[in-house]
A and B are shown apart, each in its own frame.
Chain A
Amino acid sequence: DAMVIQNPRYQVTQFGKPVTLSCSQTLNHNVMYWYQQKSSQAPKLLFHYYDKDFNNEADTPDNFQSRRPNTSFCFLDIRSPGLGDAAMYLCATSRDMAGSNTQYFGPGTRLTVL
């Protein structure tokens, strides 16, 4: 089945130690998104790629970076994780940027910062 895959499902890192989360998709969608979801809250968009064009949300901290080496893969890099970065990180894709398009979400990576 076509899908959005995230690895790992659970990630533990130490305060200040860089960490990379991975997302891949078999939907061949043009747009890939990264969201942060803290406990009992709605997801918050961090940034997205339309093909190779990167768009950062205005309030996304500089500590968060992203790479999209090809259509299928997208990575979230947290350069120096703080305790406040512990959250579920969700990757999503959509065919294009039209509002009527559905965003398809992966299962998420739960990040713990010690």
Chain B
Amino acid sequence: GDSVTQMEGPVTLSEEAFLTINCTYTATGYPSLFWYVQYPGEGLQLLLKATKADDKGSNKGFEATYRKETTSFHLEKGSVQVSDSAVYFCALSGPSPLNDYKLSFGAGTTVTVRA
């Protein structure tokens, strides 16, 4: 079935460092891809998404490009801040006709940014 493999954490960085979190997927067809962020004690917030190959999602300085050839959707940010400390989940949904809506999540990557 459809699945997401996400870089394991925890990841600890200094402020202004470059962040990358690897995410690869297994799916038939062309799923939609998402990055969600979860701050301590909170629900999930959509960070960015891409719905077709070569699309780039971006938000709050984060970027990820939907790469069909490598089945990847890696998350990057050029200069992290302490406020970026959170758990990041890569997820996919579709394109199965029966389960199009279902989000398949990666295990989550905990990122801690030190001042």
Q: Which residues of A contact B (CB under 8 A)?
A: 4, 6, 31, 40-43, 45, 48, 90, 92, 94, 97-108, 110
Q: Is the CB of B101 within 8 A of A105?
A: no
**A42–B43 CB distance below 8 A:** no
Please tell me if the beta carbons of B44 and A105 are within 8 angstroms of each other in the complex.
Answer: yes
Check if A105 sits within 8 Å of B45, measured CB to CB. yes
Contact A99/B43 with A42-B105, A48-B101 known, Cβ cut-off 8 Å = no
- Interface locus among B68-76, B77-85, B92-100: B92-100
Dominant SS among interface residues on chain B:
loop
Known: A42-B89, A99-B94, A106-B43. 12 other contacts (CB 8 A): A41-B108, A42-B106, A43-B44, A48-B101, A90-B43, A92-B44, A99-B96, A99-B101, A100-B93, A103-B46, A104-B46, A108-B43
Question: Of B31, B36, B41, B45, which is within 8 A of A99 by CB?
Answer: B31
Number of A-B contacts (CB under 8 A): 55
Task: Tell me how many residues of B have a C-beta within 8 Å of chain A.
Answer: 25
Q: In the complex, A106→B38 CA distance in Å?
A: 11
Set A40, A45, A104, A106: member contacting B102, Cβ < 8 A: A45
User: Is there contact, CB below 8 Å, between B101 and A98?
Assistant: yes
Judging by beta carbons under 8 Å apart, are A90 and B44 in contact? yes
Contact with A along B21-47 (1 / 0, CB 8 A): 000000000011010100001111110
